[in-house]
Amino acid sequence: MAVNISKLPIMHPIKGFKLGTTKAEIRYPDRRDLVLMEIASGSAVAATFTNNAFCAAPVTVAKKNLAKVEPRYLLVNTGNANAGTGEQGLEIAKKCCEIVADVAGVNSSEVLPFSTGVIGEQLSIDKFELGIPNAYAELSENGWDAAAHGIMTTDTVPKGVSEVIKIGDKDVVITGISKGSGMIKPNMATMLGYIATDAYIDSPLLQKVLSTAVTRTFNRVTVDGDTSTNDALVLVATAQSAAPQIREESEELELFAQAVERVCKVLAQALVRDGEGATKFITIDVQNCKTEEEAEQVAFTIAHSPLVKTALFASDPNWGRILAAVGRSGVEELEIDKVSLFIGATCLIRNGNPDPQYTEQAGQKEMDHDEITITVDLQRGDAAAQVWTCDFSYDYVKINAEYRS
């Protein structure tokens, strides 16, 4: 059960961006699993992709196409990742782009393909030959809800966010969806995410905004420490708002960048809230480090500890597991007599020693919450970082053990 998310908010349409969703039966019958997104001519597009060396065929094709020309269509399928599929997988990804191009009347290089699902199985092109025309027929600026459902795999809820801001005195809309529940430790973005805005901004500046936001949001979440072969995040700006162009070093850029980061944060945290089998949403806040990288190192060591994650599932205030993770995180010359540790507002360790005011009852009260903050203070600098994760439950093992069945 997802932690404190259950349904989509109001998803404001983006002028110049349409979405069409259909049931192509790529893996399962009677399930929305194919999404086509149409980008108005003249739009700016930015993207980030997985750093996994075994990146999926669609990632390879999408990166090459994006380097050639501004895309006009994004094609997403679930049920099959088209990863680990060799040259045949690459040809299938290219063929999917060609089918979209034939239907929409564009060049195949103007199509970016994306896939998610089981790794190591070949895609059946006939599903796309039938499904793409159907998705094209469903294209609508109001297609966000169906698309959010259409990109889901083991997700239990669709994930979306929509925000309206002012640039000058004109409205600018930012709307986005993401999917991901397991194999989540992005090293760039998320498993799949799509954000669109009607803002007017050029592609290089849009890329800078996206990359900065990703570093502070999607790259700070982890469910299980596994970076997917298929991670991709796309940000489209259609330039169809009446607001003025957003330019470098302007007040409007700062407002826009902050809004994009907020949208990315909601979408990224939603992946953790809906982590496979998750029952708790955990914020790990590491403070007063020498560098931000050091703070991330400590936070991710805690977040990736199976012992910490299972204790969180059990609501067991076994804080020794957290302390041990801090100690093995690799911080050079860590002065343990300066380390303090909190769960929620309750101090466990103060300056390297058990807090004399701590009681097991106080720790248990904090652990019983479904949203928990773990705070670590190293008292060795002024850098900090937050990482978001979830617990490991019985269902995480069950979901992944039965994933291909």
pLDDT number for residue 276:
84
Predicted confidence band of residue 1 (pLDDT cuts 50, 70, 90): low
Average pLDDT score over residue span 49-77: 94
Contact (CB, 8 A) for 24 and 220: no
Residue type, 36: L
Contact (CB, 8 A) for 36 and 110: no
pLDDT number for residue 26:
94
Cβ atoms within 10 Å of 219's Cβ, excluding its own? 21
Contact (CB, 8 A) for 50 and 187: yes
pLDDT tens sequence across 281-327 = 999 999 999 999 999 999 999 999 999 999 999 999 999 999 999 99
Q: 91 with 227, same domain?
A: yes
Cβ atoms within 10 Å of 306's Cβ, excluding its own? 11
What DSSP assignment string belongs to 221-249? B-SSSPPPSS-EEEEEE---SSSPPP-TT
Residue type, 99: I
Query: For helices 320-327 and 306-313, what crossing angle results, to 10°?
Result: 160
User: Does 127 or 187 have the greater pLDDT score?
Assistant: 127
Supply the mean pLDDT for the chain: 94
Q: How far apart are CA 229 and CA 147, in angstroms?
A: 22
Q: 36 with 149, same domain?
A: yes
Q: 23 with 160, same domain?
A: yes
Asked which of 59-63, 110-114, 173-177, 220-224 is least confident by mean pLDDT, the reply is 220-224
Average pLDDT score over residue span 19-27: 96
Query: For helices 57-68 and 86-104, what crossing angle results, to 10°?
Result: 50
Predicted confidence band of residue 230 (pLDDT cuts 50, 70, 90): confident
Beta bridge partners of 334: none
Which residue range is the domain that position 208 belongs to? 17-273
CATH number at residue 246: 3.60.70.12
Report residue 75 as tokens.
């094609």
pLDDT number for residue 400:
80
Number of domains in the chain: 2
Q: 100 with 129, same domain?
A: yes
pLDDT number for residue 229:
82
Contact (CB, 8 A) for 162 and 10: yes
Q: 209 with 292, same domain?
A: no
Average pLDDT score over residue span 380-402: 91
Does the residue 189 lie in any domain?
yes
Report residue 355 as tokens.
């807090």
Taking the alpha carbons at both ends of the chain, their separation in whole angstroms is 21
Average pLDDT score over residue span 41-64: 93
Q: 117 with 85, same domain?
A: yes
Of the candidates 140, 149, 135, 263, which has an alpha carbon nearest to the alpha carbon of residue 210? 263
Of the candidates 244, 211, 374, which has an alpha carbon nearest to the alpha carbon of residue 299? 374
The answer on pLDDT for 405 being more than 90 is no
Q: 202 with 313, same domain?
A: no
pLDDT number for residue 184:
67
Contact (CB, 8 A) for 37 and 73: yes
Q: How far apart are CA 397 and CA 403, in angstroms?
A: 10
Q: 262 with 384, same domain?
A: no
Domain boundary among 273, 291, 314: 273
What DSSP assignment string belongs to 332-374? TT--GGG-EEEETTEEEEETTEE-TT--HHHHHHHHTSSEEEE
Report residue 315 as tokens.
């609501």
Torsion sign over Cα 103, 104, 109, 111: negative
* Proportion of the chain above pLDDT 70, given as a percent: 97
Of the candidates 328, 335, 171, 189, which has an alpha carbon nearest to the alpha carbon of residue 243? 171
The answer on pLDDT for 190 being more than 60 is no
pLDDT tens sequence across 90-118 = 999 999 999 999 999 999 999 999 999 88
Catalytic residue among 50, 190, 238, 346: 190
Average pLDDT score over residue span 188-202: 86
CATH number at residue 339: 3.10.20.340
Helix (H, G, I), strand (E, B) or coil at 250: coil
The answer on pLDDT for 188 being more than 60 is no
Of the candidates 197, 196, 188, which has an alpha carbon nearest to the alpha carbon of residue 217? 188
279 given a catalytic annotation: no
Predicted confidence band of residue 375 (pLDDT cuts 50, 70, 90): very high
The answer on pLDDT for 71 being more than 60 is yes
Predicted confidence band of residue 187 (pLDDT cuts 50, 70, 90): low
C-alpha 326, offset from chain centre: 26
